[in-house]
Structure 1
């Protein structure tokens, strides 16, 4: 039997004011907390400067923690079109940064992230944070944004593992 490979995953919860990030190691079914944090921008600065701060912060995280894959939470439209547009720009920076760093990037809807972590797609932030702490011993709940980013990474770990098994089965590889 081949040894189980560890994959390092970066989860990103994009926001223009606060972008959460979380890094986990995935070894088979085992998830290990590596690091997490939040990139903050100053809402008094010009939009272009804030987007640059997000890009530079994400690139610094990637350089520091060397993930092999990335996952970004998708943006849903909300009542304020201006807020939705700005959130979309932050998400675009997250996707661009990870992709430019050479990482394969997947995107997950918030309901799918919640369902993967909590078991229901309508969980509240506190439930997500609680389950992230349960699934990742060592996580000390630094910020809600970081917990959400770790939840995105956990969601990706579950789906990517299944995708790898299907790909191996399609190629006739035994694991």
Structure 2
């Protein structure tokens, strides 16, 4: 199973692609899509959309995990992140990709087993779980990998519970 995790944003979209083979999680590719500050928002959204289409076509993930939006104190930031998230979801839909949403709390619990883990603890655990040489940068990339790990663990749980129900 190939999973892409996405941490949406207007300036930086983090992505992390993993292959889940049995209980193993193998990193395939990770990085970020970045747009230039000062460009008109519609152009930035177009750049994100086109980059997402290229990523999905190149790596052909089977499922997408994306961070569930929560309300931010800065309403303008929340709206622009929501717009970026919208074009990301559109790219997934156009590629026929099912999308699963996870909260930051779910990611913390899945990656560290502790809902109050701080960012550094989560990043270090991602590095360890994926046997990476260092913590992925920028933070958005580590967040995206955390989302992919969370979904991989959720898929394992679903498989186990389906086996029990049969």
TM-score (norm 2): 0.93
CA RMSD of aligned residues (A): 1.4
* Distance in structure 2 (CA, Å) of the matches to 1:51 and 1:62: 16
- The 1:83/1:96 distance shift into structure 2, 3 A limit, reads same
Indicate the SS of the match to 1:83.
helix
1:75 is aligned to: 69
- The 1:39/1:30 distance shift into structure 2, 3 A limit, reads same
1:109 is aligned to: 103
In the comparison of the two structures, how many residue pairs are matched? 165
1:138 positional shift: 3.1
**Structure 2 spans left out of the alignment, 5+ residues:** none
Whether the 8 Å CA contact 1:74–1:91 is kept in 2: the answer is: no
1:163 positional shift: 1.5
1:75 positional shift: 1.4
Say yes or no: does 1:91 pair with 2:85: yes
TM-score (norm 1): 0.88
**Structure 1 spans left out of the alignment, 5+ residues:** 1-6
* Distance in structure 1 (CA, Å) of the matches to 2:118 and 2:85: 21
Whether the 8 Å CA contact 1:33–1:139 is kept in 2: the answer is: no
* Distance in structure 2 (CA, Å) of the matches to 1:66 and 1:138: 22
1:169 positional shift: 4.2
Structure 1 outlier segments of 4+, above 6 Å = none
Say yes or no: does 1:44 pair with 2:38: yes
